[in-house]
Structure 1
């Protein structure tokens, strides 16, 4: 008995210390969630005046007045209008070279912009405000081109697909193009931090698998089988939840999350958009 009591106190004290450490970790992760979800590169990074690209600087404001910035690429004879919603680790200057590829393959006017906190856009990102940023970009594009917001093609990559689905739920779209998309943002977060209750604590949730059920329009999805950031099954789950018959899913064997899509992808996307009249 004299031996057991100290052991009990030891284990009880250890359990209390471990619980305290775990709570401190939870508190820390809650505070840094914004940085983990939106590791936004600033305007000091990247080339903002590339001489080989022809574009128009786009300046507009989100619903709460936050200034936003993007690049607009005009096609000489556009068949459609595209709004590109990028992933969480890049800004406009990082992906400018991709926009002429999209414009040429899809015969489209293209706007790519930065969410708040990214590049030359002001503010700090959080899910509802980022979605409002997308809606503001869509409105600017409609004014610039005359293409109604409900007819624009929304191309979203990774977290950008979450923004695209949320926008399509609210105002429709000519088509949603989802690249390496998640069903819910909490799913890849739970995969990355299995020892944390992220599904309970996350504020940025992007429940795309629920939202897409309220969007009846065309959907073009793709995913790599070796995606270690967003599991292939999550992209497939989002695709299956879409209620439309006008949808297509491309599987890229051996492809990871951040690898560039092959030229054939854009050709297939162009054919799909022609087929559905987007």
Structure 2
């Protein structure tokens, strides 16, 4: 895997912090121009026109165009697994001669990648390469609207939430990827996108991997833009992960990866998210609660599920990790590899009761 790290390090140095551009103007811009501050898709310069492709990194891929329900075209990358990979360092997965590439891909995990708020999807290809080559996962790299070569303008409710659902729906309707365990990987604001999507599709998501994400954007404003902290209530782009993460059943494993030295998202955000992850309620207990009603709850563990409800989840901190270089810290990819391997022995989330 060492040959992959130089390209990842280049990625880390070249990406943009989640709060890039915040703190430059006043209260009026916070309210009226916050979309431009929160989603600096044109930064660094050239990000809307110069988008690297996977073949630049010796990766086979499909140039995938997704059409959202509101008529926006998203230019994404889809990397599906093959039995044999020529890339040096590719993990060996046993396969029979009769097995086709499609059948092989159908039994490997599928990663939906949700990137941070700066740059474009092409800047994250080094990360996709590790998932594809080292960990032998299928990878769908979503390019949000208004980013890279995708059409439209980014926003939360009328934008990126729709884009994420469109990407998931594509996998769920795919001929063979629909058979795979679907894992969401989100960095920074991409972590909020992943949490939101999983909260709306708990039956479809096998697991989440979240790196350096936040509790909500309004709660991030005081640290990202201290002078505007008192006016955080004006932030209409919420991405309220704190309220949504607990609606994801405890049977859905989560891996939280936190850079202790994160200069954009304070460490406390990831620590508090981890506390909330541990308070999630198992699906079985949710069903009991629904049957009995809030006043007739039989199972006391739903009131205080404790760490047992998150026994399949993990929280890993990297002492030297900053916002954009946590992914190159020692132990980062081994933590992800171990987490993915552990999913094979964890029972999937039970279906909702009819």
1:178 aligns with 2:244: no
1:86 corresponds, among 104, 115, 135, to 115
* 1:117 and 2:146 aligned: yes
Cα distance in 2 between the residues matched to 1:198 and 1:55: 45
* Residue number in structure 1 paired with 2:289: none
Q: Please identify runs of 4+ aligned residues in structure 1 that moved more than 4 A.
A: none
Cα distance in 1 for partners of 2:265, 2:58 equals 33
Indicate the larger mover: 151-160 or 138-147.
Answer: 138-147
Given that 2:41 and 2:48 are in contact with CA atoms closer than 8 Å, whether structure 1 keeps it comes out as no
Structure 1 stretches of 5 or more lacking a match?
Answer: 1-23
Distance in 2 (CA, whole Å) between partners of 1:214 and 1:144 is: 27
- Output one character per residue of 1:12-54: Cα deviation in whole Å (capped at 9) or x when no partner: xxxxxxxxxxxx9321222220111100034313434626332
Change (3 A) 1:151 1:51: closer
C-alpha displacement of 1:140? 1.5
Question: Does residue 209 of the first structure (1) align with residue 242 of the second (2)?
Answer: yes
> Which shows bigger deviation, 237-246 or 207-216?
237-246
Counterpart for residue 261 of structure 1:
328
Whether 1:271 aligns to 2:320 is no
Please state how far the C-alpha of 1:106 moved relative to its aligned partner.
2.8
Query: Which residue number in structure 2 is paired with residue 31 of structure 1?
Result: 32
The DSSP-based 3-state class of the residue aligned with 2:75 is strand
| Structure 1 residue 193 corresponds to structure 2 residue 225 | yes
What pairs with 1:100-139 in structure 2 (closer than 5 Å)? 100-128=129-157, 129-139=159-169
Moved more, 188-197 or 214-223: 188-197
For the 8 Å contact 1:157–1:178, the answer to whether it is kept is yes
* Bigger CA radius of gyration: 1
In structure 2, the residue matched to 1:231 is 266
Under a length normalisation based on structure 1, what TM-score does the superposition of the two structures give? 0.85
Higher strand share: 1
Q: Looking at both structures, which has the greater relative contact order when contacts are Cα pairs under 8 Å and sequence separation is at least 6? A: 2
Gaps of 5+ in 2: 1-24, 83-103, 281-309, 347-354
Of 196-205 and 157-166, more deviation after overlay is shown by 196-205
Report the Cα distance in structure 2 between the residues aligned to 1:148 and 1:116, rounded to whole angstroms: 24
